[in-house]
Amino acid sequence: MTASPINSNALAADGRSLNALKLQAGQNTPASIKEAARQFESLFMRELIKSMREATLKSGMLESPGGDLGQDMLDQQLAVQMSGMPGGLSELIARQLSQQMAPQQAAPVPLAQRQTRPTAELAVPVPLAQHQTRPTAELAASLPRPAANQAEFVARHSAAAAQVERTSGIPSGFMLGQAGHETGWGKHQIKMPGGSNSFNLFGIKAGAGWSGKVAEVTTTEFVNGAPQKMVAKFRAYASFEESFKDYARLITRSPRYAQVSQQTGSVQAFASSLQRAGYATDPDYAAKLSRAINQTLQLQRAQA
């Protein structure tokens, strides 16, 4: 008796889908292996989306058990739709399963030679934007297509960000996205009194403990939710590379941002942690930063 194929819109968390998946797995065919890998990615994506929802700040005014149930059902469908994409996690899992189920064949190729993404990227839950090649209408609305100046900015600073990622553990896409947001993707960089560049990509201010050069400029701060213009002092560096390094030191060593460096598995959680720690006074900073980081992750995937 041939097992019935699993509905492409079903998730293995459903009892009937799980039983069908077990029957297919016993056949040890390429199709069954591919489906098992896709279902694993779907479950992974569902948990990832769930963690992102939990990290999102809520007012509590519109929440209800019925709304939570509807949101969970929508998240389940999003997880199914975003799984099985070309170049996704399911392809890697399917290759590994095929090699483990065929010991009589040649020795498996080492993981480092057959994976489609760097090891560091697999060690951390992959951000949502890196999983999808064709976002749903709802997700596409929040991820506008990156502009040419954004692509140029990311390409220009990728090497410095990648080097700091290796020493700090902060994803390069997160740093590039924040640098792009803070500088308007390079259009509004902080200048020294003589007009030279301060190389400050992250808008880090010069507090009492800063002994380096300083750039004093007019900036917009939010006081009680209202924007106000005021003069502030910002740190100045000798190069963009120094800016990335100083940002990483601030995030990983300052007690104020102790929780931020633990949230690199989720774009929304990372951005929300920065806002809660008081990195910026803009009440919408987390949402704006999340969009910038997700756009950067899209660009990194396109440029890879």
Domain 148-303 belongs to what topology?
Answer: Lysozyme (1.10.530)
Return the beta strands (E) in 105-244 as ranges.
214-223, 226-235
Amino acid (one-letter) located at 267: V
Asked if 221 is an active-site residue, the reply is yes
Give the per-residue pLDDT at 297: 94
Amino acid (one-letter) located at 125: P
Q: What is the pLDDT of residues 39-97, one digit of tens each?
A: 777 777 777 777 777 776 666 666 677 777 777 777 777 767 777 776 677 677 777 76
Question: What are the domain boundaries of the chain?
Answer: 15-116, 148-303
Asked if 246 is an active-site residue, the reply is yes
Q: What is the pLDDT along the chain (304 residues), one digit of tens a residue?
A: 444 455 555 555 555 555 665 555 555 677 777 777 777 777 777 777 777 777 766 666 666 777 777 777 777 777 677 777 766 776 777 777 676 655 444 444 454 444 444 433 333 444 443 433 333 344 444 566 778 889 999 999 999 999 999 999 999 999 999 999 999 999 999 999 889 999 999 999 998 889 999 999 888 888 777 888 888 899 999 999 999 999 999 999 999 999 998 999 999 999 999 999 999 989 999 999 999 999 999 999 887 7
Give the per-residue pLDDT at 33: 75
Give the per-residue pLDDT at 112: 44
Give the per-residue pLDDT at 215: 93
Q: Confirm if 206 and 233 have CB atoms less than 8 A apart.
A: yes
Q: Residue holding tokens 């990483």? A: 248
d(CA 216, CA 236): 10
Catalytically annotated residue among 54, 72, 221, 284? 221
Query: Would the pTM count as exceeding 0.75?
Result: no
Catalytically annotated residue among 47, 246, 282, 284? 246
Q: What is the pLDDT of residues 172-197, one digit of tens each?
A: 999 999 999 999 999 999 999 889 99
Checking 160-167 for CB contacts under 8 A at 24+ apart, the result is 160/240, 160/241, 160/244, 161/244, 163/241, 163/244, 164/244, 164/245, 164/247, 164/248, 165/120, 167/248
Q: Confirm if 49 and 79 have CB atoms less than 8 A apart.
A: yes
